[in-house]
């Protein structure tokens, strides 16, 4: 089996949001606990910025991170998808579209499925394994390209 998803998925899904919201919580707690907020009521509007950062962070995390699956493995003509302890095997023939977004960080690959999976829905998104870097955003993702070629070869094969 070949791993298609990045090992850093755990960091992006679980660790980074804790750091983000933890930093904002510590900042607000320190600011309120210092007593400056009570002595100077005109400073209260400055609490709006961390709260706004929390709301925007939640929206971005829900859109870009929280829908990612934990692991995707290629096993011959099927994909093994793992998320939160659940595992499913999806045939490559069930994939109707491979979408690789390049201008997001982290990069994502979204596989649209022919039939809805009971565990993962109509789409499976993951962070592809492979090198990162500035110039990588301007090249096709090798994992997505390989998947496209494999799926195309399956479609061309006589039934």
Do residues 49 and 88 share a domain? Answer: no
Q: What is residue 42's predicted lDDT score, i.e. its pLDDT?
A: 74
Of 16, 33, 64, which residue is a domain's last? 64
Q: What is residue 53's predicted lDDT score, i.e. its pLDDT?
A: 95
Residues of the chain below pLDDT 70: 36-37, 133-137, 159
Task: Give the pair of three-digit tokens for residue 37.
Answer: 């907020």
Report d(CA 92, CA 71) in Å as an integer.
Answer: 16
Render pLDDT for 118-143 as a digit per residue (tens, 0 to 9): 788 899 999 999 777 666 667 888 99
Strand order in the sheet with 2-3: 2-3, 71-75, 78-83, 86-91
- C-alpha separations of 124 from 7, 23, 96, 99, 117 in Å: 17, 30, 12, 10, 9
Do residues 88 and 138 share a domain? Answer: yes
Q: What single-letter DSSP state applies at residue 119? A: T
Of 48, 64, 80, which residue is a domain's last? 64
User: Which residues form the domain of 128?
Assistant: 71-156
Do residues 47 and 75 share a domain? Answer: no
């Amino acid at each position: 089996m070949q791993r298609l998803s990045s090992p850093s998925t755990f960091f992006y899904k679980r660790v980074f949001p804790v750091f983000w919201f933890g930093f904002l919580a510590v900042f607000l707690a320190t600011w309120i606990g210092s007593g400056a907020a009570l002595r100077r009521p005109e400073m209260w509007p400055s609490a709006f910025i961390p709260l706004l950062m929390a709301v925007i962070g939640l929206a971005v995390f829900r859109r870009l991170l929280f829908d990612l699956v934990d692991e995707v493995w290629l096993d011959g003509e099927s994909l093994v998808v793992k998320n939160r302890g659940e595992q499913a095997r999806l045939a490559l023939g069930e994939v109707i579209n491979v979408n690789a977004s390049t201008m997001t960080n982290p990069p994502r690959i979204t596989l649209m499925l022919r039939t809805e999976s009971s565990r993962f829905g109509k789409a499976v998104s993951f962070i592809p394994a492979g090198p990162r870097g500035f110039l990588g955003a301007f090249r096709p993702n090798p994992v997505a390209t390989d998947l496209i070629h494999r799926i195309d070869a399956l479609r061309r094969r006589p039934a």
